[in-house]
A and B are shown apart, each in its own frame.
Chain A
Amino acid sequence: MYAFEIDRPNTLADAVKALGAEEAQALGGGQTLIPALKQRLASPARLVALSGVAEIKGICTGDDGALCIGGGTTHADVAAGAGAYPALAALAANIGDPAVRNRGTIGGSLANNDPSACYPAAVLGSGATVVTTNRQIAADDFFEGMFTTTLEDGEIITEVRFPVPEAASYQKFEQPASRFALVGVFVARFADGVRVAVTGASEEGVFRWSEAEAALSKDFAPAALEGLSLSGDGMISDLHGSGDYRAHLVAVMTRRAVAAAG
C-alpha cells in the first residue's frame, strides 16, 4: 500500500468537507477498497472513513412504504433488519462470508458496481432510488457499466430507497472461489409489472432483461420464459465460464427466481 492519511469524521457534514480535499476517497467497509489498495490499484492521498457516521446507518420504512437503508449499513445489518423485504435480506445474507458482511456496506457495493456484485441486481431489479449528498438517482440512471456509476467525486451514498414488491427473489449461481455471483438474477413483481435484473453476466455490468420482463408481466410463471434466450455476445468470458455459458445460466437463474418468488 502507498501511504495515505485517514480521517474518521462523525458527521456527514464533516465527511463531505473532508472529501473536498485533494485526492480524497471515501472508505466504506473496506472489503473491496483495502484489497485494491494492497495491490496498489488505488493511491488516494487521504481516506475518509464513513464507519463513524451514524446518520447514514440503519433501516427504516418511509411514508410511501419504501424500505430505506442507510448507505453505511453493513450487509449483516441488512440481512438481520430488512425483514420487510425478505428477498433483499436473503441477498445480503449471502454476500461473501460473515466477516465480509460485518464490514461491507451497501453504499460501498453500489459505488463500486462490480459486474458480479449482488446489490446492483437488487437495486435495479427493485427500481430503487439511490440518495446521495447531492441528489436522488433512479436505479435506471445510476449504473453506467463495469465499475462505473453516475456518482461524482466526493459524492456519498447516504441512503437507498427500495419500493417493496409483491413477490421477489434473488438467485445467485455462486463462483465458489470468489464468493461473488457467476450469474445472479433478481426478479421482482410489482402491481404494475415485473422487473428482472441480471448481474455477473454482461461486460456492461448489471442490466435489465426486458424480454423476460414483458413475458413475466403477462404471466408470472417459469413457463412464460420458454423460448426466451440471450446471446453470449457481450457476456463476460473467463476461466470460470464462457459468454454462452453465462447467457444460458441467466435463463436458468431467472426461471429459478420466478419459481422461488411464487
Chain B
Amino acid sequence: MPEVSMTVNGKPAKGQIEGRTLLVDFLRDTLGLTGTHVGCDTSQCGACVVHVDGRAVKACTMFAAEAEGAEIRTIEGMAEPDGTLHPIQAAFREHHGLQCGFCTPGMVMSAAALLAENPTPTEAEVRDYLEGNICRCTGYHNIVKAILAASGQDVSRIAAE
C-alpha cells in the first residue's frame, strides 16, 4: 500500500492508504481525529469540512493521496493546547450555535475560512458562505449570530427568532 505524508494541525502525520482512501477516513481512522464528521454520501452536508492549505474543503470529497505534502487543519487544531476555545468555538457556545453538535466541526471550519477571507462579513455573506453546511437542529439563526459575534460585530440587536 502506498504511504502518504502531510502536516495535520501543525504536526507531521503519515500512514498507509489505498487509492480510494478519502481524506476524511485517513483523518478519522488512521490518525484517530474523529472530530471531523461524515454526514452524507453525496458531498452536500459539509460536516466534514477541513482546511487544506488554508482553504475549506470537504474531506469526504478528496482522496488522501491528493493531500500529500499539504497542510491540513481540522477542528482538533482550533483550540489552544491548554484547551482555551478558539474565538469561533467560544462564540458558538455563548450564542447557542449548536444543539446536537454533529454539524458543528464543519460549521466552525467553514466559519474560520470565511473570516480569514472576509473578517467582518454581513449576515447575508455569512448565510451565503454556509450554503454547503447543513444543520438539522438549530435553524441556522444562532450559528449565523455566533459567527458575526466571533468577527467582533455587535450582535446584541439580532433577536433570537
Complex interface residues of chain B between 77 and 124 (CB less than 8 A to chain A): 110, 113-114
Tell me the smallest distance from the CB of B21 to a CB of chain A, in Å: 9
Docked complex Cα distance between A103 and B18 (Å): 21
Tell me the smallest distance from the CB of B95 to a CB of chain A, in Å: 22
Contact A99 B56 (CB under 8 A): yes
Q: Across the interface, which residues of A come within 8 angstroms of B44, CB to CB?
A: 177-178
Q: Across the interface, which residues of A come within 8 angstroms of B43, CB to CB?
A: 31, 34-35, 100
Complex interface residues of chain A between 91 and 140 (CB less than 8 A to chain B): 96-100, 102-103
Tell me the smallest distance from the CB of B41 to a CB of chain A, in Å: 5
- Residue interface bits A19-38, CB-to-B below 8 A is 1, else 0: 00000000100110011011
Q: Across the interface, which residues of B come within 8 angstroms of A99, CB to CB?
A: 46, 49, 56-58, 61, 110, 132
Contact A38 B55 (CB under 8 A): no
Docked complex Cα distance between A8 and B57 (Å): 19
Tell me the smallest distance from the CB of A54 to a CB of chain B, in Å: 14
Contact A97 B62 (CB under 8 A): no
Query: Does A5 touch B at the CB level, under 8 Å?
Result: yes
Task: Kindly state the interface size class of chain B when it binds its partner.
Answer: 20 to 34
Query: Does A11 touch B at the CB level, under 8 Å?
Result: no
- Residue interface bits B7-48, CB-to-A below 8 A is 1, else 0: 000000000001110100000000000000000011110100
- Residue interface bits A42-65, CB-to-B below 8 A is 1, else 0: 000011010100000000000000
Q: A38-B41, A98-B129 are in contact. Are A3 and B61 (CB under 8 A)?
A: no
Interface of B is mostly: mixed
Partner of B61, one of A34, A46, A177, A179: A34
Q: Across the interface, which residues of B come within 8 angstroms of A147, CB to CB?
A: none
Query: Does B68 touch A at the CB level, under 8 Å?
Result: yes
- Residue interface bits A169-192, CB-to-B below 8 A is 1, else 0: 000000001110000000000000
Q: Across the interface, which residues of B come within 8 angstroms of A102, CB to CB?
A: 52, 55-57
Q: A38-B41, A51-B66, A97-B46 are in contact. Are A4 and B57 (CB under 8 A)?
A: no
Interface centre among B52, B65, B68, B133 (most CB of A within 10 A): B65
Tell me the smallest distance from the CB of B130 to a CB of chain A, in Å: 8
Partner of B56, one of A47, A98, A177: A98
Tally of contacts, chain A with chain B, CB under 8 A: 80
Query: Does B131 touch A at the CB level, under 8 Å?
Result: yes
Q: Across the interface, which residues of B come within 8 angstroms of A38, CB to CB?
A: 41
Docked complex Cα distance between A176 and B131 (Å): 9
Docked complex Cα distance between A76 and B20 (Å): 25
Query: Does A39 touch B at the CB level, under 8 Å?
Result: yes
Docked complex Cα distance between A229 and B46 (Å): 39
B106 (CB) vs chain A CBs: closest residue: A99
Docked complex Cα distance between A27 and B132 (Å): 22
Q: Across the interface, which residues of B come within 8 angstroms of A89, CB to CB?
A: none
Contact B56 A8 (CB under 8 A): no
Contact B58 A100 (CB under 8 A): yes
Q: Across the interface, which residues of A come within 8 angstroms of B22, CB to CB?
A: 34
Contact B62 A34 (CB under 8 A): yes
Query: Does A13 touch B at the CB level, under 8 Å?
Result: no
Q: A35-B42, A98-B129, A103-B61 are in contact. List 13 more A-B contacts (CB 8 A).
A: A30-B61, A31-B61, A34-B61, A39-B41, A49-B66, A97-B133, A98-B131, A98-B132, A99-B58, A99-B132, A102-B57, A103-B57, A179-B132
* Chain A contact residues, CB within 8 Å of chain B: 1-6, 8, 27, 30-31, 34-35, 37-39, 46-47, 49, 51, 76, 96-100, 102-103, 177-179
21 residue pairs A–B, Cβ–Cβ below 8 Å:
A4-B20, A6-B63, A6-B66, A8-B65, A8-B66, A8-B68, A30-B61, A30-B66, A34-B43, A35-B61, A38-B41, A49-B65, A97-B131, A98-B110, A98-B113, A98-B129, A99-B58, A99-B132, A100-B58, A102-B57, A179-B132
